[in-house]
With several copies, the nearest count.
Chain A
Amino acid sequence: MSSKLSNAQIAWRAAQDIEDGAYVNLGIGFPEMIAKFQPAGRHITYHTENGVLGFGKAPPQGEEDWDLINAGKKAITLKPGASFFHHADSFAMVRGGHLDLAVLGAYQVAQNGDLANWRVGSKGVPAVGGAMDLVHGAKRVAVITDHTTKDGKPKLVERCTFPLTGVGCITRVYTSLAVVDIEDGRFVLREKLAGLSMDELQSLTGAPLHTQGQVADLIVPEIEQ
């Protein structure tokens, strides 16, 4: 494998698909980075599980109000038109299909849309947060992830071996090498890095990659880390 996208570049690519006017929940950690790359001219409203809609960037250091945080417990600011609500109303938005998009991280995504992203085994303290809710209800549920684990194992798999977060819930995966849709229980390759052959990509993927018509080049800008 000659090269792969940085996390920032994966986040940039995912950001391009978020339509103007969308209501979006970005999972804690890596998915939060997507907000940085929101294309100019689009108005996107971000939801966070702990009861805020319409939040903006972190405040300057030292100006945090710790009653104004997101689900990752990071300090946030508000944009005009923001609102507060309690946790049951917040998850009504999630479960009730009112979000246009939720983006999560993943340990594994299976070709049937199953997601495993909350624990890798039975050791340690398990923690689930809102992930199992977020995979249900949003009109589109996407994953951003490295294409493989650190030791080179596929994260796109035939069947998840880690404990599941949700069943048949993921419809698109943005990886460090490709953009892959999940349709009818199959991975359908939409974009891949130009320098990467189909065979190379398939060898790094744990289930068959199908194509429907053209596979576009996955083109992203250089982004300074």
Chain B
Amino acid sequence: MDKTIATLAEAVADIEDNAVLMIGGFGGSGAPIELIHALIDRFKATGSPGNLTVVNNNAGNGQIGIAAMIDAGMVRKMVCSFPRSSDPRAFTEKYLAGEIELDLVPQGTLAERIRAAGAGIPAFFTPTSYGTELAEGKQIQEFDGRPYVLERWLKADFAIVKGELGDTHGNLTYRLAGRNFNPLMCMAAAKVVAQVSTLTEPGGIDPEQVITPGLFVDGVIEVPNPQQEEALIRAGEVYA
């Protein structure tokens, strides 16, 4: 029952070619930068995993993290709400060259689709995007006289997330606004690996303060003093 993973390389070893990969974080807040970079290392060493579909709110910034994955050529498609935050050069270049696909999803719909996948809800109705081009081709139904759009769950093969405190059973807390998509992605992926700043024994987290219960998490690796993606970008770091 000990879910501890010893090395970053092991933590990302099971992500396969063509996988749908959820990556937690919103911009640089709560982004599992060490896990992402370990995955890039693996790709550079072995050519795998390639052809990934990556789910994240954004599409990478600067020259680290998801942007570095895109630059490395690992990503076939991004599923996101906002691929245009500060310095999205990596995605923009490939997108305009037709070398990467984009599945653009409104942010609240993205969150709810991920939660639905985790909650066994195959589809739900939302007012969001009704009457817009993002609802084209989707089933519309009225409730109480108002039209809604049917949206499907969004599942992943694998998720990598960033927690703050974790225990060896996989229970997680998050730091400040670093929570964002992380708890949802833990629910929606077939396999979930979390990096945490501090790893404790079971009992080290107050049961009332657990945000992600361990049953959603398959592996946990301690990364003390993790790097903060936004801080790296502002420092002009390049991961290549």
What is the interface of chain A, defined by CB distance below 8 A to chain B? 20-21, 23, 43, 45, 47, 49-54, 65-69, 71, 73, 78-99, 114, 124-133, 136-137, 163-167
Contact = CB atoms under 8 A, between A and B. Distances in A.
Given A73-B85, A84-B210, A87-B26, A20 B107 contact: no
Nearest to A129: B82
A51 to B, nearest CB: 5
A53 B202 CA distance: 13
3 closest cross-chain pairs (CB), A and B = A81-B202, A95-B120, A91-B108
Contact of A133 (B27, B108, B115): B108
Contact of A91 (B84, B112, B129, B202): B112
Interface string B163-187: 0000111010011111111111001
A164 B182 contact: no
Contacts of B54: none
Interface stretch (B15-23, B34-42, B69-77, B87-95): B87-95
A130 B134 CA distance: 13
Interface of B: 1, 26-30, 57, 81-86, 88, 91-92, 95-96, 102, 104-112, 114-115, 117-121, 126-134, 167-169, 171, 174-184, 187, 201-203, 205, 207-208, 210-211, 213-216, 228-231
Contacts of B104: 126-128
A73 B119 CA distance: 24
Contacts, number: 211
A68 B26 CA distance: 11
A86 B183 contact: yes
Nearest to B118: A96
B184 A88 contact: yes
A68 B120 contact: no
Name, among B57, B107, B168, the residue most crowded by chain A CB atoms within 10 Å (CB to CB): B107
27 contacts: A43-B1, A45-B214, A54-B169, A67-B29, A67-B176, A67-B177, A67-B228, A73-B85, A82-B207, A83-B213, A86-B181, A89-B213, A92-B119, A93-B213, A95-B108, A98-B118, A98-B187, A98-B215, A128-B82, A128-B105, A129-B81, A130-B106, A132-B106, A132-B109, A133-B128, A136-B120, A137-B120
Nearest to B183: A86
A51 B216 contact: no
A84 B82 contact: no
Given A69-B27, A125-B96, A133-B109, A50 B203 contact: no
Contacts of B95: 125
B213 A125 contact: no
B30 to A, nearest CB: 7
* Chain A facing B: main interface SS: loop
Contact of A20 (B1, B183, B205): B1
Contacts of A136: 120, 127-128
B223 to A, nearest CB: 14
A205 B134 CA distance: 28
B134 A73 contact: no
B26 A84 contact: no
Given A125-B92, A133-B106, A69 B177 contact: yes
B179 A86 contact: yes
Contact of B180 (A66, A81, A87): A87
Nearest to B127: A136
A131 B128 CA distance: 9
Contacts of A91: 107-108, 111-112, 119
A133 B88 CA distance: 23
B175 A67 contact: yes
A130 B108 contact: yes
A150 B13 CA distance: 53
A92 B120 contact: yes
Nearest to B207: A82
B231 A66 contact: yes
